[in-house]
Amino acid sequence: MQRNLSHLASEEYDILVVGAGIYGACAARDAALRGLKVAIIDKGDFGSATSQNSLKIIHGGLRYLQQADVIRMRESIRERRTLMKIAPQFVHPLSCIMPTYGHLTKGREALFIGLLINDIIGFDRNRLEDPEKHLPRGRTIPKKKVVELLPGIATEGLTGGAIWYDCQTHNSERLLLSFLLAAAAEGARAANYVEATGFLTRGRRVIGVAAIDRISGEKFELRARVVLTTTGPWVGNLLGRLGTRPRGSPLRLSSAINLVTRSLIGGYATGISSRAGLIEEDAFVRRGSRLYFIAPWRSVSLVGTAYAPYEGDPDSYRVTEREITDLIAEIDRAYPAGGLTRADVKAVHAGLLPMDKVSRRTGEVILSKRYCLIDHRTHDGWDGLISVLGVKYTTARAVAEKAVDIALRKLGSAFVTSRSDEAPIYGGRIPRFDDFLAAAVHGRPEGISPESMTHLVYHYGSRYPDILSYVQREPALANPLPGQKYVIGAEVVHAVREEMALTLADCVLRRTELGSAGDPGEACLAACANLMARERGWDHARREKEIREAEAVYIPRV
């Protein structure tokens, strides 16, 4: 996948996707798989906004049972299975546990019934060839077992626990990138750091966008028969330039924050409830969700999610130190045995999500539950324009498919059925994951440790030979980077040459797993910057600037 803007601007596309978060990436791939001429741009790096900040849970929507929302549950269950099938290297089963207190709606008996219904609704969840992807039935467990699994959990009123299974992705950034790489393999053109600054119109028809290269400052136009905006929290900003906006606007946004901490609970993703009433009146998380998750992820824990209304421009959003300390205090109250302190926080994942309202009764943010898919011809009379505003990473592919269905109708071409729920994404050609992994580790070349080989399979799937090809030419690239156990130099070179990593932060946060779970350290950043400098021809000053900017990612606003 190469960034070539003159090439990009030289054609008229069937569909131009503006915004390469997970929704845009899925739409670009879906459209390219149907034989459309596709381009996709993002004003930052691919997947550098909301999609980079997910809790990484690919979930079947057990929580929607509370609203008896079977349709949404079915959609989530189907997409969870689809992702396991098309992206088997990234999406793996996750065991989840929730302690139960009392005997009422959140008691063990109620959860027993809930899990039973969940299994009935998800009757076809295991229609997959690979046994590694099969999710066992949910079950309840006695109090004694809960205390064993979650040492230090509050025991007052504890009646037992519920165990169920969802999925998790160990690398949501590479999962997204692999959708884009798959789109590119089908002929889609992609460019990061290209912003749509306005629309090109003819009468009441959108015929493309005015764009700016955020690297060189050069302005140009991109023409397309259909423009699809998948700009996440920026949806209002871009559509505003056309004098329109999504129905129900002004769009209300909530911040959403997760902490990456030292490992707090191993084995199970754990749902814990905070104890309301103990929080100071003006505390940030008072307005947030009271159910938190502590999920094991790589060798750390992901802790969250705290929500609060956000009214500023999405570009200005930065997490504050106060928000971090409030969330720590809240988690500490909910699970004192974890002993969480500020020193345990290695990174913060934060983004903006559409919200419906703030509950007057509880002060909690009520997030939007439904995605928004707009055909602007019927919405506000603008033809050639479709907009999507998603609410979950899990269901992005399905929503993107619907958006491309509309685009096809607009194009007036023969209807081609989507194959995006069948075709493997980049590196996804793996019929049985465990067998594939074992064979790759067994047949690894000299100089690659079993741990690095395992890591390569989990991150590049069936395309791991792409990475090994660099090692053949330059054996030193098989060495893990300083302070790292598995990530090798060849991944950095590949990121620059084939995956459009333009900055050190692109490489550290979104092409490799070096920095997404915390600061990888000075020596690692320096080694990574050296490799990038060699590839990109950076001078000393540029290299230093890149290191400073990558380090700044880990410093919250005061």
Ligand X SMILES: Cc1cc2nc3c(=O)[nH]c(=O)nc-3n(C[C@H](O)[C@H](O)[C@H](O)COP(=O)(O)OP(=O)(O)OC[C@H]3O[C@@H](n4cnc5c(N)ncnc54)[C@H](O)[C@@H]3O)c2cc1C
Nearer to ligand X among residue 167 and residue 440 (C-beta): 167
Angstrom distance (rounded) from CA 34 to CA 2 = 22
**Helices (DSSP H) in 241-301: which residue ranges?**
none
What number of chain residues touch ligand X (CB under 6 A)?
42
**Helices (DSSP H) in 125-171: which residue ranges?**
143-149
Angstrom distance (rounded) from CA 228 to CA 160 = 48
Stretch that binds ligand X, among 103-111, 158-166, 275-283, 345-353 (CB under 6 A): 345-353
Name the residue among 270, 350, 342 with its Cα closest to residue 305: 350
Q: Beta strands 91-101 and 57-58: pairing type?
A: unpaired
In whole angstroms, the minimum distance from the beta carbon of 295 to ligand X comes to: 8
Contact 300, 264 (CB under 8 A): no
Map the footprint of ligand X across residues 50-89, applying CB under 6 A.
Answer: 50-51, 53-57
Count of Cβ atoms closer than 10 Å to residue 152 Cβ = 12
Stretch that binds ligand X, among 117-125, 252-260, 327-335, 513-521 (CB under 6 A): 252-260
Cα 382 versus chain centre, distance = 31
Q: Tell me: does residue 393 bind ligand X (CB under 6 A).
A: yes
Map the footprint of ligand X across residues 175-204, applying CB under 6 A.
Answer: 195-196
In whole angstroms, the minimum distance from the beta carbon of 446 to ligand X comes to: 39
Distances from the Cα of 113 to the Cαs of 73, 120, 291, 463, 520, in angstroms? Answer: 16, 11, 20, 43, 45
In whole angstroms, the minimum distance from the beta carbon of 431 to ligand X comes to: 26
Map the footprint of ligand X across residues 286-325, applying CB under 6 A.
Answer: 304-305
Nearer to ligand X among residue 183 and residue 547 (C-beta): 183
- 428 Cβ contact list (under 8 Å, min separation 6): 86, 87, 88, 89, 178, 182, 461, 462
- Of positions 8, 31, 41, 96, contacts ligand X by CB under 6 A: 41
In whole angstroms, the minimum distance from the beta carbon of 469 to ligand X comes to: 30
Nearer to ligand X among residue 50 and residue 274 (C-beta): 50
In whole angstroms, the minimum distance from the beta carbon of 293 to ligand X comes to: 8
Map the footprint of ligand X across residues 207-246, applying CB under 6 A.
Answer: 230-234, 238
Cα 280 versus chain centre, distance = 32
Nearer to ligand X among residue 346 and residue 429 (C-beta): 346
Map the footprint of ligand X across residues 16-35, applying CB under 6 A.
Answer: 18-24
Contact 337, 260 (CB under 8 A): no
- The amino acid sitting at 224 is A
- Of positions 138, 271, 390, 461, contacts ligand X by CB under 6 A: 390
Residues that bind ligand X in the complex, under the rule CB under 6 A: 18-24, 41-44, 48-51, 53-57, 195-196, 230-234, 238, 256-258, 304-305, 349-351, 353, 390-394
